[in-house]
């Protein structure tokens, strides 16, 4: 495998040292809950690397060694790009690689057609099963359905490479364990993948069907993760006495009213909690437009963190008012803004960082950088604007 032999920036350069000093200070202040400015996490190195090198993303999912190589190279690239609060040019003690079929793995198990694309992560279509088909279908095999056999092949090859002593920039490479197949969202989003938006009319026409169907999916997801943990010789978090909250993260819930969310999702989450002796998670990843649900979810589960709250899809000021200053918020400025111009990005950052949004701190910004075609100067402009308007 042909890998880079060094960083492409000079670790000794004075601007790298100055950047790293500021980054350390900002994160240290943030973590002790006395922030000096809003930290920005930038994770677009993957996309930038693919674009810089003209790589067709499909090879990543077809060629086992290419998945390893690309993961290592874009981790290196992430340590070279000064577009966020990342310490640059310092290799970790161990590089980590993982079997990555996000976000289509579990949908593929249910027969949803998967589309691999040259410039983005794969996507899947809805299976559009009828109510009757949903009712009678056997749940997919935990190792042989959909893309799971391919994932096992990638996992075995990664282990072979790591066990043979693969190193990168002088540090060992290890596979992340357990290698859980990505569920791509949650119980409700998987139901949407299988049944389609009809699941929402089912909620009125045949609520008992929906309750049973959602519970079967949730139990299948638990069984899937338990099986893959066991294959890695690891206990599953939910089976440990002190770990494994029941996840409340679920894409698609923003289409539900608080009452319907209660009736179907909250009821199921608490049912699972009782069965497994667990608590609902207090961490909510939500990249949709669920402003109307957050205070409700907070009342039910005592949310302590909301992750990927996208602005301006959501009124982050209103969310702050409703959930209070104690909740940790990770906000995202939408791709459409990042795809504009440096001047527009600057203006948007200025509009975003109101006193209300910044609150008493507990706010970080995340630039996922998953969309191709965003010029690097736009990311540079975002970081500069955060350093200016994100100060306390």
What does DSSP assign to residue 360? T
Nearer to Zn ion, 287 or 374 (CB): 287
Nearer to Zn ion, 287 or 297 (CB): 287
Window of 89-97, 98-106, 287-295, 375-383 that interacts with Zn ion by CB under 5 A? 287-295
Q: What's the closest the beta carbon of residue 329 comes to Zn ion, in angstroms? A: 15
Window of 89-97, 147-155, 281-289, 311-319 that interacts with Zn ion by CB under 5 A? 281-289
Nearer to Zn ion, 191 or 287 (CB): 287
Kindly write out the interface string for residues 64-103 of this chain, putting x where it contacts Zn ion by CB under 5 A and - elsewhere.
----------------------------------------
- The token duo for 271 is 């049912």
Q: What's the closest the beta carbon of residue 106 comes to Zn ion, in angstroms? A: 14
- The token duo for 361 is 């701190």
Give CA–CA dist 247/299, Å, rounded: 16
Q: Which of residues 312-371 bind Zn ion (CB under 5 A)?
A: none
Count of residues that bind Zn ion according to CB under 5 A: 1
The label of the residue with tokens 């699972």 reads: 272
The DSSP H or E segment spanning 97 is strand 95-97
Cβ(365)–Cβ(332) below 8 Å: yes
Cβ(102)–Cβ(177) below 8 Å: no
Q: What's the closest the beta carbon of residue 308 comes to Zn ion, in angstroms? A: 5
Nearer to Zn ion, 23 or 297 (CB): 297
Taking only Cα atoms into account, the Rg of the chain, rounded to an integer number of angstroms, comes to 22
Nearer to Zn ion, 218 or 287 (CB): 287
- The token duo for 387 is 């350093």
Residue whose C-alpha is closest to residue 339's, from 318, 305, 369, 306:
369
Residue whose C-alpha is closest to residue 291's, from 313, 324, 269:
313
Window of 201-209, 256-264, 279-287, 336-344 that interacts with Zn ion by CB under 5 A? 279-287
Residue 217 touches Zn ion, criterion: CB under 5 A: no
Residue 114, strand partner residues? 124
Q: What's the closest the beta carbon of residue 60 comes to Zn ion, in angstroms? A: 20
Member of 265, 287, 345, 363 binding Zn ion (CB under 5 A): 287
Residue 283, strand partner residues? 305
Cβ(247)–Cβ(215) below 8 Å: no
Collect contacts of 244-248 with beta carbons under 8 A, ≥24 apart: 244/276, 244/278, 245/278, 245/279, 245/280, 245/281, 245/282, 245/283, 246/272, 246/273, 246/276, 246/278, 246/279, 246/280, 246/281, 247/186, 247/281, 248/280, 248/281, 248/283, 248/284, 248/297, 248/301, 248/303
Window of 9-17, 160-168, 285-293, 373-381 that interacts with Zn ion by CB under 5 A? 285-293
The DSSP H or E segment spanning 364 is strand 363-367
Task: Work out the number of other CB atoms within 10 angstroms of the CB of residue 213.
Answer: 23
Window of 104-112, 149-157, 283-291, 314-322 that interacts with Zn ion by CB under 5 A? 283-291
Window of 17-25, 144-152, 234-242, 284-292 that interacts with Zn ion by CB under 5 A? 284-292
Phi first, then psi, for residue 272 (nearest 5°) are -65, -40
Nearer to Zn ion, 267 or 305 (CB): 305
Residue nearest to Zn ion (CB): 287
The H helix count followed by the E strand count for the chain is 18, 10
Nearer to Zn ion, 166 or 367 (CB): 367
Nearer to Zn ion, 104 or 162 (CB): 104
Nearer to Zn ion, 40 or 287 (CB): 287
Window of 36-44, 146-154, 216-224, 280-288 that interacts with Zn ion by CB under 5 A? 280-288
Got the DSSP string for 302-362?
A: ---EEEEEEETTS-HHHHHHHH-SSSEEEEEE-HHHHTS-HHHHHHHHHHH--HHHHTTS-
Window of 25-33, 212-220, 286-294, 330-338 that interacts with Zn ion by CB under 5 A? 286-294
Kindly write out the interface string for residues 229-268 of this chain, putting x where it contacts Zn ion by CB under 5 A and - elsewhere.
----------------------------------------
Q: What's the closest the beta carbon of residue 74 comes to Zn ion, in angstroms? A: 20
Nearer to Zn ion, 173 or 287 (CB): 287
Which stretches of the chain bind Zn ion, using CB under 5 A? 287
């Amino acid at each position: 495998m042909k890998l880079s032999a060094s960083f492409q920036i000079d670790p000794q350069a004075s601007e790298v040292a100055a950047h790293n000093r500021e980054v350390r200070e900002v994160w240290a202040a943030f973590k002790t809950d006395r922030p000096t400015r809003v930290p920005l996490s930038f994770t677009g190195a993957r996309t930038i690397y693919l674009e810089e090198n003209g790589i067709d993303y499909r090879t990543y999912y077809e060629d086992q060694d290419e998945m390893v190589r690309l993961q290592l190279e874009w981790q290196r690239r992430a340590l070279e790009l000064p577009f966020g609060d990342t310490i640059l040019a310092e290799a970790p003690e161990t590089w980590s690689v993982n079997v990555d079929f996000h976000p289509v793995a579990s949908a593929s198990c249910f027969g949803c057609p998967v589309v691999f694309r040259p410039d983005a992560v794969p996507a899947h279509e809805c299976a559009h099963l009828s109510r009757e088909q949903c009712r009678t279908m056997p749940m997919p095999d935990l190792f042989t359905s959909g893309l799971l056999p391919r994932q096992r092949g990638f996992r075995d090859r990664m282990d072979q490479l790591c066990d043979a002593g693969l190193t990168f920039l002088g540090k060992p490479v290890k596979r992340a364990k357990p290698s859980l197949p990505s569920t791509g969202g949650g119980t409700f989003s998987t139901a949407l993948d299988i049944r389609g938006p009809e699941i929402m009319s089912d909620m009125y026409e045949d609520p008992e069907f929906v309750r049973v169907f959602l519970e079967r999916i949730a139990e299948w997801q638990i069984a899937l993760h338990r099986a893959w943990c066991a294959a890695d010789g690891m206990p599953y978090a939910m089976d440990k006495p002190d770990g494994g909250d029941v996840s409340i993260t679920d894409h698609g819930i923003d289409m539900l009213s608080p009452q319907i969310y209660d009736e179907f999702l909250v009821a199921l989450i608490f049912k699972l909690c009782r069965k497994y002796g667990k608590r609902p998670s207090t961490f909510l990843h939500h990249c949709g437009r669920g402003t109307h649900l957050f205070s409700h979810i907070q009342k039910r589960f005592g949310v302590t963190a909301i992750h990927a709250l996208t602005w301006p899809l959501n009124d982050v000021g209103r969310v702050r008012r409703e959930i209070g200053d104690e909740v940790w918020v990770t906000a995202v400025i939408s791709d459409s803004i990042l795809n504009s111009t440096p001047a527009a990005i600057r203006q948007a950052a200025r509009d975003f960082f109101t006193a209300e949004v910044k609150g008493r701190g507990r706010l970080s910004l995340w630039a996922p950088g998953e969309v191709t075609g965003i010029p690097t100067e736009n990311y540079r402009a975002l970081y500069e604007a955060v350093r200016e308007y994100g100060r306390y």
